[in-house]
Amino acid sequence: EDQVTQSPEALRLQEGESSSLNCSYTVSGLRGLFWYRQDPGKGPEFLFTLYSAGEEKEKERLKATLTKKESFLHITAPKPEDSATYLCAVQARGAGNTPLVFGKGTRLSVIA
């Protein structure tokens, strides 16, 4: 069974204090690994898709990396507006379109 484990569950940072969120996964052949941002009471907002080990993607203060067993979301010099829950999901290879399997997320709080 495909599984995603995110750590830590919650993270509190001072503004400007860089850190990383972890997403460990087991999947029967990875089609893609996805990162989403979710604000309270709203739907997940797409950030990145990673397809193969060694791939990296960046967007503003966020950088996502991928290995064969885990992905990291690095946050450089975060600002209070980066406070949100960050969700990781995997999609397995399959004959059709396999559904995303999500982790429980990391709740990030950035304090000014």
Shortest Cβ distance from residue 112 to other proteins (Å)?
26
Binding site for other proteins (CB under 8 A): 4, 31-32, 34, 36, 41-46, 49, 87, 89, 91, 96-97, 99-105
- Cα–Cα distance for residue pair 66/51, rounded to 1 Å: 8
Shortest gap between Cβ of 83 and other proteins (angstroms)? Answer: 17
Is the bond into 8 cis (omega within 30 degrees of 0)? yes
Which is closer to other proteins, CB of 3 or CB of 18? 3
Rounded-to-5 percentages of helix, strand, coil across the chain: 5, 60, 40
Q: Select 18 or 26, whichever has its Cβ closest to other proteins.
A: 26
Give the C-alpha separation, 58 to 52, whole Å: 15
C-beta closer to other proteins: residue 18 or 109: 109
Q: How far is the CB of 22 from other proteins (least distance, A)?
A: 15
CB 42, min distance to other proteins, A? 5
What CA–CA distance (Å, rounded) separates 42 from 4? 21
- Of 84 and 89, nearer to other proteins (C-beta) is 89
Q: Quickly tell me which residue has 């980066």 as its tokens.
A: 82
